Amino acid sequence: MKGLKFISTGRAIPEKAVTNDDMSRIVDTSDEWIRTRTGIAQRHFCTRENAASLAVSAARQALERAGISPEEIGVCAAATVTPQYASPANACLIQAALGLAEDTPCFDLSAGCTGFLYGLEVMRGMLTISPKRYALLVGGEELSRVMDMTDRSTCVLFGDGAGAAVLALEENALWAATLGTRGNSDILSVDAVGKGPSYIHMDGQGVYRFAVEVIPHCAKELLNQTGLTLEQVDWIVPHQANRRIVETAAKRLHLGMDKFFLNIDRYGNTSAASIPIALDEMVQEGLLRKGQKVMAIAFGAGLTWGGALFEW
């Protein structure tokens, strides 16, 4: 079976960091509540940046680090729930900014916080029919634009940012994936554009219950597909939504927290950007090294879930 290899990664984080104390000046909340319930200490909000500029910056960094020319990209997709425009796609803006060839299919993909993992499978499929070797996949969000700053149960959770990866298809590369959805719009949704302000609506506990169920489900499914054991996996990179969700899922898998990478303290929940930002940070910090086995697992609006198991 052909699997994806990550050739390079990149990320873009808005300059402005917003602390929990900053949030407590906007809504009735506290640093103590946010830290203990979620593990978040700060998040970043766009000021001079926007959804498009973040996606372009992350994509540019990944492309430069891959050391390939824009013409070598055969497909470009951007996973997002907060594109710059409803249309054209963020991926079209990336195509223009980076000078990707005009015959490159460029499109956005909406699967909530699971978007990047849906994107990996879509890129794997697209590369089998592309005459070119590489795919460029971005997860990027400007969630501060859709936050109801009067709703303390949601506005303290999310942040802005983008992550990107250049991917290639390789014969015999370790690869397993699982994707799904419950077709649910009651528990978590973002309003459509054009009907007044667009906000995130969420039943936090509903998402919580779903997340602690699907993380172990995805992990087991990926292990079944590959015949690997959890001990043979070096890293689990979960969607960064809530530290407690990850701790509960770890317990259900009879694992300690040392295999789980967490950076939610610094970025909050960046939806489709959370997994690629985490991967990029891990590489840049020297944590994620060639040959290591990685499990990435996400869940989000839809209620969608996704997992991928691959070798770095």
The widest CA-to-CA distance across the chain, in whole angstroms, is 55
90 is catalytic: no
Tokens of 202: 């969420």
Residues 75-94 that bind ligand UT7 (CB under 6 A): none
269 is catalytic: yes
250 binds ligand UT7 (CB under 6 A): no
Q: Which of 20, 53, 242, 270 binds ligand UT7 (CB under 6 A)?
A: 242
Cβ distance to ligand UT7 smaller for residue 9 or 269: 269
113 is catalytic: yes
Exposure of 193 in the CB half-sphere (CA atoms within 13 A): 8
Give the shortest CB-300-to-ligand UT7 separation in angstroms: 5
204 binds ligand UT7 (CB under 6 A): yes
312 binds ligand UT7 (CB under 6 A): no
Distance CA 41, CA 32 (A): 9
Active-site residue among 92, 106, 155, 239? 239
β-partners of residue 194 are none
β-partners of residue 106 are 76
β-partners of residue 144 are none
Cβ distance to ligand UT7 smaller for residue 107 or 208: 208
β-partners of residue 45 are 16
33 binds ligand UT7 (CB under 6 A): yes
φ, ψ for residue 104, nearest 5 deg: -90, 120
Task: Note whether 198 and 204 are within 8 A (CB).
Answer: no
Q: What amino acid positions are annotated as catalytic residues?
A: 113, 239, 269
Please give the residue ranges that form the binding site for ligand UT7 (CB under 6 A).
Answer: 29, 33, 37-38, 113, 152-153, 156, 202, 204-205, 207-208, 241-242, 269, 300
